[in-house]
Amino acid sequence: MLLGRYLLRRLLLAGPTLLGVLFITFALTRIIPGNPIDRMVGFFVSDERRAEIMREHGLDQSYDKQFVRYLGGLLRGDLGTSFLTSRPVVDDLRQRFPATLELTVCAMTIAVLAAVPLGVASAAWKDSWVDHLGRVLSVIGVSVPVFWFGLVLVYLFFFKLGIAPPPIGRLELSVVAPPVVTGLVTIDALMARNLPALWSGLRVLALPAFVLGFAAMAPLARMARSGMVEALDSPYVRAARAMGLPARTVVVRHALKNALLPVVTMIAVVFGYQLGGVVLIESIFSWPGLGQYAFNAAANADFPAIQGFILYATTIYILLFLVVDVLYGVLDHRVRYQ
């Protein structure tokens, strides 16, 4: 019950947060020089005609009126129409979100599955070769630029060895795409019992997900390690050991559970960041995700698209941190929701 009330309060608080973010985004897009109309109609049109087009798009109104109109649209679920794609921003986001989600979930799965065992092992066998390996991998993961790593893997596995599929989008060209239900290629393929498409989707996902997952693994592994080192050194672990509990129980049951808390927060941060789109990786793998969309929108001053994207990204963060807070309660019984 307490949890329910807590969640409700948090969701209500999300309202003002979103409004603030919307306001800042709106103000920034208007302050920074640039106008979507220029890109749309070019310079050949007369000033009168240009003014007319501005009026058609409501860009001639004062900023406060534009903002109120935008908020009004939002309440009806209308994020406006993108100047670049000529489509409603909602549709654009809806189309690109699954691509980003699919890639990110795969990447984070790889990252977490690699980082937590690596971090735990590094801490449990501190200063052993496992620990050194973990350190080296983490340094590489943090310092190697993802776009470079991505390009190298494409060069190696696609170009040289010819075993990875061409980095064009989410399915190989020869594969018949399954009907779009969720927008997640793998899930849609499963639902349509289209095994070749499922297979192709996974093959295409492998490289970009690995590159992203590797980059995300590094901070998570370091965090898991430092958390574990601290936990293993704590009085309760010493007490548990003194009571003669098996090493495995001590490490997994007692230490890991406490060490995981900061890791969970970190996972949420990295996950949220990646769900905002990863421009460089999307670029190298021609992945039609949100990063490319946001990048193009920003470069071309596509106001509605920028605003829509920021709104989406903010919502993602709010939701993720809500999930983290709930997980804290599950992982740590000392946490109480008030």
Partner 1 sequence: MNAYRMQHVVRSAATLLLAAIVLAAGYLPVTQAQAGKGALVVAVGGDIETIDPPVTSGAPFQHEIITNLYDFLIDFGVRKADSGEFIGDLNRFTGEIAKSFTVSSDGRAVFRLRENARFSDGTPVTAEDVRYSYERIFGVNAVTAALMRMATVNEPAQVRIVDPRTVEIKMTRSNPLLFGNMSQFGHAIVRAATVKAQATGQDPWATTWMKTHAAGAGAFVLERWTPGSEVVLARNEHYWAGPAKLRQISFKVVPDASTRALLLRRGAVDVAYDLALDDLEALRNDPNVTVRRFPTTIVKYLGMNVNVKPFDNVKVRQAIAYAVPYDTIIKEAVKGYGLPLRGPVPKGMSSNDESVVYGTNPQRARQLLAEAGLGGGFRTRLTLRSGFPVDEQIGVWVQSALRSVGVEVEIDKLPLAGYTDRLRKHEFPGLFIHEWLSINNDPFYHYFWLFRQGCCNYGNWSNPEVAELINTMMLSTNTGLRNDASRRAQRIIMEEAPWAFLFQPEYVISMRKSVAGYIYYPDRYNRWYSVSKE
Contact 190, 199 (CB under 8 A): no
Q: Is 301 one of the binding residues for partner 1 (CB under 8 A)?
A: yes
- Residue from 35, 61, 234, 315 touching partner 1 (CB under 8 A): that is 35
Rounded CA-CA distance 205/191 in Å is 18
Q: Is 28 one of the binding residues for partner 1 (CB under 8 A)?
A: no
Nearer to partner 1, 83 or 271 (CB): 83
Residue among 281, 272, 124, 139 at smallest CA distance from 218 = 139
Nearer to partner 1, 17 or 286 (CB): 286
Rounded CA-CA distance 103/123 in Å is 30
Q: Which stretch binds partner 1 (CB under 8 A): 65-73, 116-124, 199-207, 260-268?
A: 199-207
- Residue from 5, 55, 69, 87 touching partner 1 (CB under 8 A): that is 87
Contact 107, 274 (CB under 8 A): yes
Q: Is 158 one of the binding residues for partner 1 (CB under 8 A)?
A: yes
Contact 194, 178 (CB under 8 A): yes
Q: Is 57 exposed, middle or buried (0-12, 13-18, 19+ CB in 10 A)?
A: middle
Cβ at position 276, least distance to partner 1 in Å: 16
DSSP codes joined into one string, 74-132:
HHTT---B-TTT-SBHHHHHHHHHHHHHHHHHHHHHHHHHHHHHHHHHHHHTTTSHHHH
Q: Which stretch binds partner 1 (CB under 8 A): 91-99, 227-235, 308-316, 328-336?
A: 91-99
Q: Is 307 one of the binding residues for partner 1 (CB under 8 A)?
A: no
- Residue from 154, 228, 264, 294 touching partner 1 (CB under 8 A): that is 154
Rounded CA-CA distance 240/248 in Å is 11
Q: Is 248 one of the binding residues for partner 1 (CB under 8 A)?
A: no
- Residue from 162, 179, 235, 244 touching partner 1 (CB under 8 A): that is 162
Q: Which stretch binds partner 1 (CB under 8 A): 33-41, 216-224, 250-258, 269-277?
A: 33-41
Q: Which stretch binds partner 1 (CB under 8 A): 87-95, 107-115, 239-247, 249-257?
A: 87-95
Tokens of 16: 């003002």
Rounded CA-CA distance 73/55 in Å is 17
Binding residues for partner 1, rule: CB under 8 A, are 32-36, 38-46, 49, 83-87, 92, 95-96, 151, 154-155, 157-159, 161-169, 172-175, 199, 202-203, 206, 282-286, 288, 292-293, 296, 298-301
